[in-house]
């Protein structure tokens, strides 16, 4: 098993890509630390893993709260160790031109998507440096490499995630720590549902979106989880500072 006896912390793990990543890591032998602001959803993931014979625990965590993030990872490291951190928690915003996006929305997206990832890395790195190994996987987006129209704040934050990851890889590599980013295309999650809900005909918009992809469909959460699992594991032992694009060929068009 690819993550046997390793401890994997996943943020935003109550649903979507985070949930699938949690269950996949457990299947590969990891002790999974599920974190989210959704306590009920997070606990249901833990229950599912336990029922399948895996090992998991839930921590309530708001990634924008640096002190809370540090406290959670301190407790996790002391109790179980800390081998992998998956910074998956993220948010989007209603579509609109840059000049129409309210400052409060911009700031919230920055707080979750950028500061949340920064907080996680800031809290995890001392533990990983002390033990001489670790893997950080940050969840970016197709917007990490392409500026998406009507999504300026989101694109800004996801671009920042990719370059932060590169900086961490360069800085922490000598300590045996790898850092990578997964850059998914549109994935069939609640976040996508919220995005499409702004359209007059969400189902038609979904179909049109799928047609823009060479594979003529959107990604499933488990497909992104597979990419995260690869980067987290020793199968990617010489991969660091990389942005792994998982977009069904969209960026080639």
Residues with catalytic function: 154
* 13, 35 contact by CB (below 8 A): yes
Report the alpha-carbon distance of residue 198 to residue 195 in Å, rounded.
Answer: 6
Q: DSSP string covering 71-119, please?
A: HHHHHHHHHT---EEEE--------B-GGGS-HHHHHHHHIIIIIHHHH
Going edge to edge, which strands form the sheet with 55-60?
55-60, 31-36, 7-10, 84-87, 134-139, 177-184, 243-246
* 124, 8 contact by CB (below 8 A): no
Report the alpha-carbon distance of residue 18 to residue 7 in Å, rounded.
Answer: 15
- Residue 113's nearest CA partner among 160, 180, 163, 71 is 160
Report the alpha-carbon distance of residue 84 to residue 10 in Å, rounded.
Answer: 8
Burial letters for 3-21: b for 16+ Cβ neighbours within 10 Å, e otherwise?
beebbbbbbbbbbbbbbbb
**Residues linked to residue 96 through DSSP beta bridges, in sequence order:** 151
* 241, 165 contact by CB (below 8 A): yes
């Amino acid at each position: 098993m690819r993550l046997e006896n390793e401890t994997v912390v996943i943020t935003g793990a109550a649903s979507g890509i985070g949930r699938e990543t949690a269950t996949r890591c457990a299947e590969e032998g990891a002790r999974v630390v599920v974190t989210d602001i959704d306590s009920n959803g997070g606990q249901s993931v833990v229950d599912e893993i336990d029922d399948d014979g895996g090992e998991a625990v839930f921590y309530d965590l708001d990634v924008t709260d640096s002190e809370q993030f540090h406290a959670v990872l301190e407790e996790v490291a002391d109790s179980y160790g800390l081998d992998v951190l998956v910074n998956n928690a993220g948010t989007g915003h209603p579509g609109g031109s840059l000049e129409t996006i309210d400052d409060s929305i911009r700031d919230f997206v920055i707080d979750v998507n950028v500061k949340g990832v920064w907080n996680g890395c800031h809290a995890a790195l001392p533990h990983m440096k002390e033990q001489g190994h670790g893997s950080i996987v940050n969840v970016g987006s197709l917007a990490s490499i392409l500026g998406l129209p009507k999504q300026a704040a989101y694109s800004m934050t996801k671009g920042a995630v990719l370059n932060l990851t590169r900086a961490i890889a360069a800085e922490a590599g000598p300590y045996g720590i790898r850092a990578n980013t997964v850059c998914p295309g549109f994935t069939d999650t609640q976040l996508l549902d919220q995005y499409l809900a702004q359209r007059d005909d969400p189902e038609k918009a979904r179909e049109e979106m799928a047609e823009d992809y060479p594979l003529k469909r959107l990604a499933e959460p488990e497909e992104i989880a597979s990419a995260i699992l690869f980067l987290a594991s020793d199968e990617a032992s010489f991969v660091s500072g990389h942005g792994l694009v998982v977009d069904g060929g969209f960026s080639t068009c």
